[in-house]
Amino acid sequence: MNSLRRRYLLLFLLFLGVEVLIALFVHDRFIRPYLGDVLVVPVVYLFLRLLFPTGLPWLSAAVTLFAMGVELGQAFGLVELLGLGHIPFFRILLGTTFDWADLLCYLAGGLLLRLGEARRPS
């Protein structure tokens, strides 16, 4: 594993660990619903950077749009439309409750990614 992949693996595990800790132990009205959603975009992005360590110029935007698309799918009951509503895994993965604030959180996560990548030496 090259040093760039190792770096993204460590960052992915760190961010994923924070997300898991938030999900398991934080039951408040700010960190879990907002910070947790902001961090979802970097977690997915960092995982994909393991596959594409040199990066793709549009990757952070694509991950952000994907997260927002999943959220919009919740507005239309996507999990039920796909016939997966009876399977708890898919209800968690795709979500069931739309919230405009989640879209803003995903956008914030995407913007933080862009800032972080802009600061990273080439």
- Model pLDDT, residue 42: 97
In this structure, how many other beta carbons lie within 10 angstroms of the beta carbon of residue 32? 14
Spell out the per-residue pLDDT of the chain, length 122, in tens.
789 899 999 999 999 999 999 999 999 999 999 999 999 999 999 999 999 988 788 999 999 999 999 999 999 999 999 999 999 999 988 999 999 999 999 999 999 999 988 887 65
> How far is the first Cα of the chain from the last one, in angstroms, to the nearest whole number?
19
- Model pLDDT, residue 122: 55
Q: For residues 106 and 43, is the Cβ–Cβ distance under 8 A?
A: no
Question: H or E stretch including 73?
Answer: helix 59-75
Report the SS3 class of residue 112: helix
Range 81-103 burial, b when 16+ CB lie within 10 A, else e: eeeeeeeeebeeebbeeeeeebb
Which residue type does 81 have?
A: L
In angstroms, rounded to a whole number, what is the distance separating the alpha carbons of residues 16 and 48? 13
